[in-house]
Structure 1
Amino acid sequence: MSDMQANTALLVMDMQAGIVNRYAQSSDILERTNTAIAAARAASIPVIYVVVGFRPGYPEVSPRNKMFSGRSQASSSTAAFSIELPQAIAPQPMDVVITKRRVSAFSGSDLEMVLRAQNISHLVLCGIATSGVVLSTLREAADKDYQLTVLADCCLDNDEEVHRVLLSKVFPRQAEVIQSEDWVATLAVEK
């Protein structure tokens, strides 16, 4: 394992079944993400899944939170938001699953503690949605001085134009934006 790989983690964000099922092209992203996950594991790079989740009754959700308050009001007071991951990208026992309470992977989670404990300084990001968890996590991680890579074809958004602008104009200011097959090839060369 190279020094670069020793300090790297792959973050698979908000790819839980309830979110993935909202996207018609989700089978393609799951296949590409699974390939990236397998390559990370083969290179001994930690795979960290980040899911959004709440307790029954949504006590973490303020009525002032525009994004999540509608969901909590629409659900029964005893139902919790599902954090189940699709079988195609299911975690293995050595993987870490982080539950967050807001959009950024850092917000309301213990992600930073896990990264610090494993001496991770380089985050490879993928997830749904590009304009949600990927954008919020990238911005916060950049402010925390992480080195960043975004796997462009392992990100998805409902708005294709927003997705394109983020990947081609916004993210490159703070991250390397590459295709997953190029990242996987780099791992094979660095072995």
Structure 2
Amino acid sequence: MQVDFLRPGGFGSALGNDVTHLQRAVGPCQDVLAAAREAGLVVIHTREGHAAPLLDLHPFKRVRPGQDETTAAIGRPGPCGRILVRGEPGHDIISELYPQTGEAIIDKPGKGCFYATDLECILRAQNISTLLVCGVTTEVCVHTTVREANDRGYHCVVIGNACASYHPQFHQTSLEMIVAQGGIFGSVAESNVVVQALRQYTATTVVPNKKRKILHPPTSSDADGVAHRVSITKADEV
């Protein structure tokens, strides 16, 4: 959840979007993040952006077809610094969800969290098979990441109200697509269900130093399931 997407003056608002639509997901993200930390889950933050020379930025992403290059092209200066450039204020994660010491931060050049990153190396090394996914926007970065994860054999639980879109109808349709046909891409659950499951687990399980724990991941209707190692992953893109 980056400044460029959620704050006035960032990339999202430069594209003409109402950033308040995304801000609604911050509270649920905070709740899930706090519960995940207490349960000792592996927390992975992601940031979408490009190195300052922009050599990893292909031309059709820098200026989208039909986009005005003078307003919102990636790399142009703005109130939050150069748009989607690593190291600029707008590229950073918002203060409400800022990473704690020891939590992984994945810097990605694409919409999905697996492309050109070491995310899968981390997940394999930690023996993680289920992901709790939250972030923005639902139809772009979240969906791309979930599809990438599904193709790699991971089970994704998308936390519906901890995701958001500048276009509410896209958000709803994206969630419906995930669970269509028996869960073609994964599961969807609301933050209160996930938090309840995490708290129940934390209350009944003792692990030294709060290392990774085994969790029964929630489905769209309850908190039952097969035990997996779980990671909470946040995906950001517009």
Q: TM-score, normalised by structure 2?
A: 0.68
Looking at structure 1, the residues matched to 200 and 74 of structure 2 have their Cα atoms a distance apart, in angstroms, of: 47
Partner of 2:161: 153
Residues 178-187 or 28-37, more deviating: 28-37
Looking at structure 2, the residues matched to 39 and 97 of structure 1 have their Cα atoms a distance apart, in angstroms, of: 19
Once the two structures are aligned, what percentage of the paired residues are identical? 26
Contact in 1 for aligned 2:3/2:94 (Cα 8 Å) = yes
Unaligned runs of 5+ in 1: 1-14
Looking at structure 1, the residues matched to 33 and 107 of structure 2 have their Cα atoms a distance apart, in angstroms, of: 19
SS of residue matched to 1:174: coil
Q: CA deviation at 1:75?
A: 4.7
Q: How does 1:38-117 map to 2 (within 5 A)?
A: 38-65=34-61, 71-72=73-74, 74-75=76-77, 79=82, 80-81=85-86, 82=88, 83-117=91-125
Amino acid at match of 1:47: V
Query: Which 4+ residue blocks in structure 1 deviate beyond 4 angstroms?
Result: 66-70
Spell out, residue by residue over 1:69-123, the C-alpha distance to the aligned partner (whole angstroms, 9 max, x if none). Answer: 95236459x9434421111111100211100000001112111111111111111
Structure 1 residues 73 and 18, CA gap change in structure 2 (3 angstroms): closer
Calculate the aligned-residue CA RMSD, in Å. 2.2
Spell out, residue by residue over 1:133-161, the C-alpha distance to the aligned partner (whole angstroms, 9 max, x if none). Answer: 10100111000010110000010111111
Looking at structure 2, the residues matched to 61 and 68 of structure 1 have their Cα atoms a distance apart, in angstroms, of: 12
2:10 pairs with 1:24: no
SS of residue matched to 1:98: strand
Q: 2:126 aligns with which of 118, 121, 124?
A: 118
Flag the structure with larger Rg. Answer: 2
